């Protein structure tokens, strides 16, 4: 998983200026960048102004007070795996 945002900036520049990239390849890069940005915000605690408990509650259609620490931990693990999977496809 990238921790250096410079890599992401270089990736975006490559997407913008590489005339040979098809739509399928571009989708992979966009998905990776979006997931990586979302994951980084979650790790830094920014999470679009809401905490992981609220996000998990919304995803699982539960009340925030019903969300357990295990569910939050699973959410973070799945999100990290999604970032790694998206990165491996580019």
Write the secondary structure of 41-78 as one string of H (helix), E (strand) and C (coil). HHHHCCHHHCCHHHHHHHHHCCCHHHCCHHHHHHHHHH
pLDDT for 6: 58
pLDDT tier, 48 (very low <50, low <70, confident <90, very high otherwise): low
Q: Which of 24-38, 55-69, 76-90 has the lowest mean pLDDT?
A: 24-38
Residue with tokens 């739509």: 23
The answer to pTM > 0.75 is: no
- pLDDT tens digits for 59-84? 888 898 999 999 889 988 888 888 88
Contacts of 55 (CB under 8 A, 6+ apart): 42, 47, 75
């Amino acid at each position: 998983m990238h921790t250096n945002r410079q890599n992401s900036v270089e990736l975006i520049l490559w997407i913008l200026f590489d005339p040979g990239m098809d739509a399928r390849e571009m989708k992979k890069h966009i998905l990776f960048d979006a997931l990586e940005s979302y994951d980084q915000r979650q790790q830094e605690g920014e999470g679009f102004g809401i905490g992981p408990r609220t996000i998990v509650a919304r995803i699982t259609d539960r009340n925030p007070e019903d969300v357990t620490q295990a569910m939050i931990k699973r959410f973070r693990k799945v999100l990290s795996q999604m970032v790694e999977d998206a990165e491996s496809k580019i």
